[in-house]
Structure 1
Amino acid sequence: MPSDSPTRRRMLRGAGVALAAAFAGCGGAQSSATESSAPASASTEGATPTSTSTEPASAEPATSTESEAEGEYTEVYRNVIDSVVLIQVSSGGQGSGFVYRDNFVVTNAHVVGDASDVQVRFTDGEWRAASVVGVDPSADLAVVRVEDIPDDAEPLPMVDEQPAIGTEVVAIGNPYGLEGSVTSGLVSGVNRLIPAPNGYRIPDAIQTGAPVNPGNSGGPLVTLHGAVVGVINSGGGENLAFAISAALVKRVVPALVEDGEYRHAYMGAGLRTVTPDIAEQLGLSEPRGVVVTDVLDDGPSDNALQAGDVVVSVGGRRVDSRQQLASYLALRASPGDSIRVTVLRDGRRQRVEFTLGTRPRQPDTTSR
């Protein structure tokens, strides 16, 4: 557990500000709040007493009230805060990040933007130069390397399974440059599709009620045990924020560390969840599956899928929605994989097979 020094125990209270309506990590130039929040000693050693009373001291330990007031949130904050950083970009943008492993810090792609170098600040108050080693706009993830990470800044563990809806979580970061701020909430949804900076959609996202503001992006969303459930991505309104799931982070980030990029699987087809209206139009008995709206000429699925097909399973897994299909491609498939897809075509079930391609850097349509 981190030291109980005043520097590590501070919990700055952010100003009462409205939640951001888009990506939450691209704060503007550092505010005066950032300057005033630099770590400072709170020691009272040598202070002049304000009273000379000789009445006996209370028999109750002086720390009892403090211990009763402190709880799970304080404990998880102390365990996590040394590993959370403020990231400053030369353009004036800023965000948050956390130690992933060794000298590598994870943040959002939209935090670092096109920068090759950034400045990173840990809880010891010192700025450190860091280099951007990998960026994936499709997952809105980036990795920066810091050579001299403090000893107390240990890598944060990540959950092994998707958190249950209702799980208590804590967001720690630097909203509006207010370093070391903490907010809490619940996991209010899972398997969401959220916008990526380059026009694609990020699957398997975590929805939370923990308040998130500009500057929080890239920071960790953690359980009360200090395990990361996701990388904070955006806030969309009151009690509505999103994080990139730990499962997607664990798949993308190692490739960013090793190769500087991640290759996403690509079907080359327009897809849409079957609604009751679509089911009626297609003569389906129930609104289930994903309808193919169009197929890219000479794309990976050009000779296998047709417009009007309804995908009901992929790789032997039932598919009820576009979100499920997107999560399968993101978490279980890779370019070059041959996959089997079961479709409803002209009222009959058919099985087709094709080889997945590599997703282009920019979408030709946001539905693919």
Structure 2
Amino acid sequence: MDAAIVAVLDQGLPHDSAWESRGENQRAEAQALDAYSQIVTRVVDEAAAAVVAITIHERVNDKGKRIHGGQGSGFFFTPDGLILTNSHVVHGAKRIEVATVAGRMFAADLIGEDVHTDIALLRVSGHETHAHVALGSARELRVGQLVVAIGNPLGFDCTVTSGVVSALGRSLRATTGRQIDDVIQTDAALNPGNSGGPLLDAQARVVGVNTAIIAGAQNICFATSIDSVAEVIAQLMRHGRVRRGSIGVAAQNMRLPQRYVRYFGLEQTTAVRVMEVAHGGPAAQAGLEAGDIIIAFDGEAIRGIDMLHRRLDERSIGKQASLALLRRDRRIDLMLTPVELS
């Protein structure tokens, strides 16, 4: 054979070292995939038995009208039958049924719910010990970290999806208009019916409660951080509700005119404009008027309604606080005492 042809053929064939390198890469990839699979399957083995399918046959809306029920997910987080889920899954339910992966059915009672964070707490009665998952923490989560979601999307029981933490510290609006803070964004696929199910880390600890998807978008899903949920759980167990403060105003966000910022030496450029003052409420008793601009509460600058809501937590109820406001080119400082939001 011509030497030139032999040389060309020889160049086109991989040498033994190239084959060995390719084989090593393939083995490394296979090992990585196998390790990923092992993590997911271990999480499922440890957590799936604690996840329940929730069925609502009938519910009553806020206007007293009977409407069709629905389905969702939840999970036992104590052995004596406490279940976490979303408020919108069980709100207004006449009767709540939960089913385990093993096919066992239980009636559940609503201990309390918080529509502002979309969290609800249920209890299954009896002396039976239930498989349950441990609550972890989202404080150590990192973007890119593996997470696993388990739920009952579209009626398909115990569906498992996995992905990564796409972003941390997101905010969502509840149906009430209040802001839900400390939300985890993930690409672990969620669908209607996943609501209320757990988002788990590689140690099968709950780091979030799956709560929302963006209709029309793919792989943009959200879970409320379990650290925020833990605060809600504590109040639901103590009071059956989440206690929040109120000063008795209806308000909206506004951008401050530059002349106000300069004249009053403000660091903020936004504040809260009072649109309406509830008769007999703390604001009315303190002398607030429609049109006043709230710039600070108890010494902290208020840049918007969400900031004011965060300051009006359980600790603010019954505690006198200062309120700084602007009224017709004057700064006024008042004292008032928030009451519990009804």
TM-score by length of 1: 0.66
1:93 equivalenced with 2:33 (yes/no)? no
Paired positions, count: 293
**Which residue matches 2:51?**
84
1:296 equivalenced with 2:263 (yes/no)? no
CA deviation vs aligned residue, 1:289-335 (integer Å, no higher than 9, x gap)? 333333323222222544444444434444333333323334x6353
Equivalent residues of 2:138, 2:208 under 8 A apart:
no
**Which residue matches 1:25?**
none
**Which residue matches 1:333?**
315
CA distance in structure 1 between the partners assigned to 2:240 and 2:163 by the alignment: 33
Question: How far is 1:64 from its partner?
Answer: 7.3
**Which residue matches 2:193?**
215
Question: How far is 1:215 from its partner?
Answer: 0.5
The unaligned stretches of length 5 or more in structure 2 are 1-29, 59-68, 263-267
Which has the bigger relative contact order, CA under 8 A and spacing at least 6?
A: 1
Query: What is the SS of the residue equivalent to 1:257?
Result: helix
Q: Which has the larger radius of gyration?
A: 2
Q: How does 1:351-362 map to 2 (within 5 A)?
A: 351-360=333-342
Q: Which moved more, 1:343-352 or 1:207-216?
A: 343-352
**Which residue matches 1:270?**
250
CA deviation vs aligned residue, 1:161-187 (integer Å, no higher than 9, x gap)? 496666654432111122222243425
CA distance in structure 2 between the partners assigned to 1:173 and 1:188 by the alignment: 21
Question: How far is 1:87 from its partner?
Answer: 0.8
CA deviation vs aligned residue, 1:40-99 (integer Å, no higher than 9, x gap)? xxxxxxxxxxxxxxxxxxxxxxx9798445254444444332322111122351101122
Q: How does 1:25-104 map to 2 (within 5 A)?
A: 67-68=34-35, 70-91=37-58, 92-101=69-78, 102-104=80-82
Q: How does 1:148-297 map to 2 (within 5 A)?
A: 151=129, 153-159=131-137, 161=139, 169-181=147-159, 182-190=161-169, 192-196=171-175, 199-204=176-181, 206-210=183-187, 211-237=189-215, 238=217, 239-274=219-254, 278-280=255-257, 283-285=260-262, 287-297=269-279
Equivalent residues of 2:99, 2:106 under 8 A apart:
yes
Equivalent residues of 2:147, 2:201 under 8 A apart:
yes
TM-score by length of 2: 0.70
Equivalent residues of 2:116, 2:180 under 8 A apart:
no
CA distance in structure 2 between the partners assigned to 1:108 and 1:307 by the alignment: 36
2:99 to 113, 121, 129: 121
**Which structure is higher in strand share?**
2
CA distance in structure 2 between the partners assigned to 1:348 and 1:189 by the alignment: 41
**What is the one-letter code of the residue matched to 1:188?**
A
Measured at CA, do residues 327 and 333 of structure 1 come closer, stay the same or move farther in structure 2, by a change above 3 Å? same
Q: Percent identity?
A: 29
Equivalent residues of 1:268, 1:296 under 8 A apart:
yes
**Which structure is higher in helix share?**
2
Query: What is the SS of the residue equivalent to 1:203?
Result: strand
The unaligned stretches of length 5 or more in structure 1 are 1-62, 361-368
Equivalent residues of 1:117, 1:132 under 8 A apart:
no
